[in-house]
């Protein structure tokens, strides 16, 4: 179900807020790595999937507390594409958001070394490394290469988990099939039991909760500058990169 819902989002990517559609490829001649952020804001039915419930449960165990979805995005890497996702730390995109998180990288197809599964450095740094821009919307830890990291293949429905400081990336997709992943970032939930129960009941009905509704209103608000609407919420786009790609995203199984 998540794959079908996310495919539909990518099919109408040109209708989405430009600041929520990215390309994480390292350069203009290195292929494409299409990404859509805030997927659950755009398609609330994702929050009703069994995959979401399992990810929520796993994040709760990892953080040892009640958790809530703080951010999510989907990265689809096209078949036969040579683009890599540079090694980076999630914290580099939003250094001010330095809180304990559990990021669940959920494979929607078998993720292998051949099609660009996640890769991690064996040792997670205690602090934030220096990063530089990588392509239009990405960041890369300086002095590192994706070949320095160890691949972590997982079957469809499996996942990897990492913190904000974990150094990770992915290799190119050399196969004839698409590689698709849905990534969910959870943080500790300090809401009262009453508010948590109320907002979850709304989400199960497909109703935008107040926090999500605010993000949607801001994202779809009329553009007030040449650079497009201001970015809302934490996520993998720098503050100076608010416009989406001018090129249409690949469709169907050409994405991964």
Q: Which of 42-46, 129-133, 193-197, 231-235 has the lowest mean pLDDT?
A: 231-235
Give dist(CA 130, CA 139) in Å, integer: 10
Higher model confidence: residue 209 or residue 38?
A: 38
Q: What pTM was estimated for this model as a whole?
A: 0.80
User: 211 by DSSP, 3-state: which?
Assistant: helix
CATH 3.40.1280.10 fits 2-254, yes or no: no
Residue 254 has pLDDT above 50, yes or no: no
Residues listed for the chain: 256
Domain spans in the chain, listed from the N-terminal domain onward = 2-254
Q: Distance between CA atoms of 220 and 117, rounded to whole angstroms?
A: 33
pLDDT higher for 235 or 137? 137
pLDDT digits (tens, 9 = 90+) for 5-55: 999 999 998 888 888 888 776 665 555 778 899 999 889 899 999 999 999
Q: What is the pLDDT of residues 138-185, one digit of tens each?
A: 899 999 988 899 999 999 999 999 999 999 999 999 999 989 999 999
Q: What digits encode the pLDDT tens for the residues 41-80?
A: 889 899 999 999 999 999 999 999 999 999 999 998 888 8
User: Are 117 and 151 a contacting pair, CB within 8 Å?
Assistant: yes
CB distance 19 to 73 below 8 Å: no
Task: Give residue 41's Cα distance to chain centre.
Answer: 13
């Amino acid at each position: 179900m998540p794959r079908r819902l996310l495919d539909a989002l990518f099919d109408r990517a040109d209708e989405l807020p430009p600041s929520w559609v990215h390309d994480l490829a390292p350069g203009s001649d290195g292929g494409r790595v299409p990404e859509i952020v805030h997927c659950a804001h755009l398609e609330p039915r994702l929050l009703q999937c069994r995959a979401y419930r399992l990810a929520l449960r796993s994040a709760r165990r990892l953080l040892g507390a009640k958790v809530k979805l703080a951010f999510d995005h989907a990265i689809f890497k096209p078949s036969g594409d040579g683009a890599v996702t540079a090694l980076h730390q999630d914290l580099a995109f939003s250094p001010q958001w330095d809180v304990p998180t559990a990021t669940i990288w959920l494979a929607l197809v078998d993720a292998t070394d051949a099609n660009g599964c996640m890769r991690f450095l064996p040792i997670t740094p205690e602090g934030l490394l220096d990063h530089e821009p990588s392509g239009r919307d990405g960041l890369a830890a300086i002095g590192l290469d994706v070949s320095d990291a160890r691949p972590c293949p997982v079957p469809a429905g499996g996942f990897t988990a990492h913190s904000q400081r974990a150094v990770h990336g992915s290799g190119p997709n050399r196969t004839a099939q698409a590689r698709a992943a849905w990534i969910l970032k959870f943080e500790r939930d300090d809401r009262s039991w009453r508010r948590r129960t109320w907002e979850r009941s709304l989400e199960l009905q497909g109703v935008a909760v107040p926090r999500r509704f605010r993000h949607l209103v801001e994202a779809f608000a009329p553009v007030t500058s040449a650079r497009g609407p201001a970015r809302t919420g934490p996520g993998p786009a720098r503050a100076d990169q608010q416009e989406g790609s001018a090129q249409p995203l690949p469709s169907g199984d050409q994405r991964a």
